[in-house]
A and B are shown apart, each in its own frame.
Chain A
């Protein structure tokens, strides 16, 4: 076993973990060589996150062994994992916005260099050594996504981690930021760090990984090396069958304008411009995609169209009606459906049954309301219709929304928003956080509605989805429309360049 001790940073053997009613992991075997980037891939719900929590000591395995550097260990808490040189960068950043970079980094590791100048010096040195370019005294709330991720990596390096777990690190990054991250990872690898890279983006995995392990339904189903495997083969290992694609067939765009924004600008109470001079038209049967790094005005654009936010200047027209001053309810009644970006915060009441959720946003309309009264039986019947048509997997209409998986919740939202034959659908990240099956179903529903003359505004961070579904793509950068693309001849790289403003600088 001496060989194992020197070359294998982490060995997981026969790991199993059960939660009440679910087997999250079983028979998981992974061997990670020291000084490599090891990718762990699999769909949402394949058990990757649970496995990583086990390796990071957040959860304890029911069976199996964790072997670090040749020695079997018991990890009771993250502190144990850190002590064994394992650090984790969570997908959702674990940072306190109101603290400085330095404070976030030293928190929990104050014994190493205190919290004063010695710590500041160490943080600055680490930042320089790996080319992170972070200012220890800046408040985290002032920083962008890429910098926040570098803080997270810095946090684990500061603690002396040799093995770094990155949980879907590229989910929140644009292509250029992904390149920067990969550059950081290569430097780390040269310094003899081991990196465990969790993802479901195959291109990225093939670009950065030295070894690949595939997970499906809670267990490891195969290993591969990037040189000897194709994207296609990996995808099949991941889903057990061919991946669906959002490709569409033929244009259904008509001449009839369904939504028109004329020179819309939005200024917040503090005088900052959120949207500047936005003019777009969407025709019946057309899908307009909006690309952009999060926080560049997509949310504001959607809210302005929905009437949640009011345009400071400009006009919003639905068909040939000026709806600029309308309230949200009026707009919805006029035929706008809305799939919000965060279904938990804006789309559903998690602790209410499905049929009550069906009523939300339709509370003045048939079949779920009669005059000023809620029509319970009508709502239940129509919820049954959605369950059937949209394949929502649920025991009954009285089940609480919380009990459904993300994909089924999203299908319910999509079904609800498609109810009452809307003329315009605002779809904000319609397939975020749902599994491949639900994703394909949602795409299919959007495509079918488009064929029937629905106008769609599609905001998404998934560039493949944008390119696959849209008839036209506009790019938002700092609240302005900076570029327009034809999805038939655009690459994710082109879009990424425009999204970061490179396009603008060049011209």
Chain B
């Protein structure tokens, strides 16, 4: 254990290697996507419109995943994210109708936070099993939103017992010049260049400020959780609450804060659905995105970078389903390539068995791609769950959830 020397350098090296890996993966994904587009001729696969839709589909999932991150890092499993999101959709609609969209976003956060508070009271104060409480909150959230919609929206203009349409949206911005030029290049269908241009175009035309807020919240959360004393205390509650308590950390308080923030994040995700992804509130509009967010968080190994990756993947497939079945079919090829690359990587690590399995699955995808012309729409809906299962199956040993995640903690019981 004599490793006192060379630590800062080692740390820098590790960090650099890490960011290099991410850069490499991003470049690989873009090149592969571009190659698939050129090979199949399905330009919809990353057209400006598709990417715009993907960004819009990603944000609610990412907010739910971020909510999950807050809560689980403090040791509370929050499968009530879906219910908190639903509360958020109602909150956004109500406050936007009477005030303006930004108050609406706050309202969404507030309603989500209320759901979080309920979860915190149940799990932290009363020691209810986290799953039981979470399921209850999902049911309550759905019921409450339906009740509140009927009670408050029925007689409004554009409202009904299950909806409230015609809401104002948060400000959208377009960067003139850049937007059109990039869109232009994107339609040239050049290898790689057009794909990058499509990304730029998607991000510069009619970009909602709420979409900008989402990554800001992700970065802010990452910074708070990993770079501040408060964040360290919060994470310690998820790793070893008894140890934290013995050092004077108020475990209950931190868990409360974490779960309430978690609910607020999910609520904002719901608000996004009502204000940006569509122009109004309808009951049931979350469509299980809270659960997909949870899956994205597990997929992302309880880390901010990972959950962004997971959410992007799930949001992208989600948006493809709605736009073009051809694109989904082309995606099979992309998945096949991805799996093949992963298999080769495993083979290089000397993990022959898992490389073999991955290789076989990859061949299966290639065959599927070549032998069929379309993919049933329902299949893409399953993507997040299948992908999460695959990740759990293949990377379970490297997934590292907070050590005390989901465990009941009673003050003084273990010291």
> Residues of A at under 8 Å CB distance from B?
53, 58, 77-79, 82, 88, 90, 94-99, 103-104, 106-111, 114-116, 124, 127-128, 133-138, 143-144, 146-147, 155, 269-270
Q: Is the CB of B239 within 8 A of A98?
A: yes
Q: Is the CB of B246 within 8 A of A144?
A: no
* Contacts A/B (CB < 8 Å), 26 sampled: A58-B415, A79-B248, A88-B246, A90-B246, A90-B415, A94-B240, A94-B243, A94-B246, A95-B243, A96-B244, A97-B239, A97-B240, A97-B403, A103-B232, A106-B229, A107-B232, A107-B247, A108-B248, A110-B229, A110-B233, A115-B227, A135-B4, A137-B11, A138-B3, A143-B1, A155-B247
Q: Is the CB of B248 within 8 A of A98?
A: no
- Sample of 5 more A-B contacts, CB < 8 Å, known A96-B235, A115-B229, A133-B1: A94-B242, A107-B243, A108-B248, A110-B229, A110-B233
Q: Is the CB of B4 within 8 A of A108?
A: no
User: How many Å from the CB of B15 to the closest CB on chain A?
Assistant: 11
Q: Is the CB of B1 within 8 A of A144?
A: yes
- Interface members, chain B 1-45 (any A CB < 8 Å): 1-4, 7, 10-11
User: How many Å from the CB of A397 to the closest CB on chain B?
Assistant: 28
A147 to B233, CA, bound (A): 22
Complex interface: chain A residues within 8 A of B240 (CB): 94-97
Q: Is the CB of B233 within 8 A of A107?
A: yes
For residue B402, CB closer than 8 A to chain A, the reply is yes
- Measured CB to CB, the nearest residue on chain A to B397 is A270
Complex interface: chain A residues within 8 A of B245 (CB): 78
- Measured CB to CB, the nearest residue on chain B to A119 is B229
User: How many Å from the CB of A168 to the closest CB on chain B?
Assistant: 14
> Residues of B at under 8 Å CB distance from A?
1-4, 7, 10-11, 227-229, 232-233, 235-236, 239-240, 242-249, 397, 400, 402-403, 412, 415
Q: Is the CB of A94 within 8 A of B415?
A: yes
Q: Is the CB of B4 within 8 A of A127?
A: yes
Complex interface: chain B residues within 8 A of A127 (CB): 4
- Taking each of A53, A99, A124, which has the highest tally of chain B beta carbons within 10 Å of its own beta carbon? A99
- Measured CB to CB, the nearest residue on chain A to B241 is A96
A479 to B278, CA, bound (A): 61
- Measured CB to CB, the nearest residue on chain A to B249 is A108
A147 to B3, CA, bound (A): 12
- Taking each of A95, A98, A133, A269, which has the highest tally of chain B beta carbons within 10 Å of its own beta carbon? A98
- In terms of DSSP, what is the predominant structure of the interface of chain A? loop
Q: Is the CB of A136 within 8 A of B243?
A: no
- Taking each of A95, A103, A107, A124, which has the highest tally of chain B beta carbons within 10 Å of its own beta carbon? A107
Candidates A79, A88, A135; contact of B7 at CB < 8 Å = A135
Complex interface: chain B residues within 8 A of A136 (CB): 7
A134 to B245, CA, bound (A): 24
Complex interface: chain A residues within 8 A of B11 (CB): 137
User: How many Å from the CB of A355 to the closest CB on chain B?
Assistant: 28
A95 to B228, CA, bound (A): 19
A84 to B7, CA, bound (A): 34
A95 to B242, CA, bound (A): 9
Complex interface: chain A residues within 8 A of B235 (CB): 96, 99
Q: Take A97-B403, A98-B403, A135-B3 as given contacts and tell me if A108 and B244 are in contact as well, using a CB distance cutoff of 8 Å.
A: yes
Q: Take A95-B243, A270-B397 as given contacts and tell me if A133 and B4 are in contact as well, using a CB distance cutoff of 8 Å.
A: yes
Complex interface: chain B residues within 8 A of A146 (CB): 1
- Measured CB to CB, the nearest residue on chain A to B246 is A94
User: How many Å from the CB of A231 to the closest CB on chain B?
Assistant: 32
Complex interface: chain B residues within 8 A of A94 (CB): 240, 242-243, 246-247, 415
Candidates B228, B233, B239, B403; contact of A108 at CB < 8 Å = B233
- Measured CB to CB, the nearest residue on chain B to A96 is B239
A110 to B235, CA, bound (A): 14
A415 to B249, CA, bound (A): 44
Complex interface: chain B residues within 8 A of A82 (CB): 248
Q: Take A107-B247, A133-B2, A133-B4 as given contacts and tell me if A98 and B233 are in contact as well, using a CB distance cutoff of 8 Å.
A: no
User: How many Å from the CB of B352 to the closest CB on chain A?
Assistant: 11
Complex interface: chain B residues within 8 A of A95 (CB): 240, 243
Complex interface: chain A residues within 8 A of B242 (CB): 94
A145 to B245, CA, bound (A): 22
A111 to B242, CA, bound (A): 21
Q: Which 9 A-B pairs have the closest CB atoms?
A: A108-B247, A110-B229, A96-B239, A94-B243, A79-B248, A96-B240, A135-B3, A108-B248, A94-B246
Q: Is the CB of B232 within 8 A of A78?
A: no
Q: Is the CB of A107 within 8 A of B228?
A: no
A136 to B228, CA, bound (A): 17
A239 to B244, CA, bound (A): 36
A134 to B3, CA, bound (A): 7
User: How many Å from the CB of B187 to the closest CB on chain A?
Assistant: 48
Complex interface: chain B residues within 8 A of A155 (CB): 247
- Measured CB to CB, the nearest residue on chain B to A142 is B1
- Taking each of B2, B11, B235, B236, which has the highest tally of chain A beta carbons within 10 Å of its own beta carbon? B236
A377 to B226, CA, bound (A): 59
Q: Take A98-B403, A108-B233 as given contacts and tell me if A77 and B248 are in contact as well, using a CB distance cutoff of 8 Å.
A: yes
- Measured CB to CB, the nearest residue on chain A to B237 is A96
A136 to B8, CA, bound (A): 10
Q: Take A97-B403, A98-B403, A115-B228 as given contacts and tell me if A78 and B246 are in contact as well, using a CB distance cutoff of 8 Å.
A: yes
Q: Is the CB of B228 within 8 A of A147?
A: no
Complex interface: chain A residues within 8 A of B232 (CB): 99, 103, 106-107, 110, 115
Q: Is the CB of A98 within 8 A of B402?
A: yes
Candidates B7, B227, B236, B397; contact of A137 at CB < 8 Å = B7
Complex interface: chain B residues within 8 A of A106 (CB): 229, 232
Complex interface: chain B residues within 8 A of A137 (CB): 7, 10-11
- Measured CB to CB, the nearest residue on chain B to A143 is B1
User: How many Å from the CB of A172 to the closest CB on chain B?
Assistant: 16
A498 to B115, CA, bound (A): 58
- Measured CB to CB, the nearest residue on chain B to A134 is B4
Complex interface: chain B residues within 8 A of A99 (CB): 232, 235-236, 239
User: How many Å from the CB of B218 to the closest CB on chain A?
Assistant: 21
Complex interface: chain A residues within 8 A of B229 (CB): 106, 110-111, 114-115
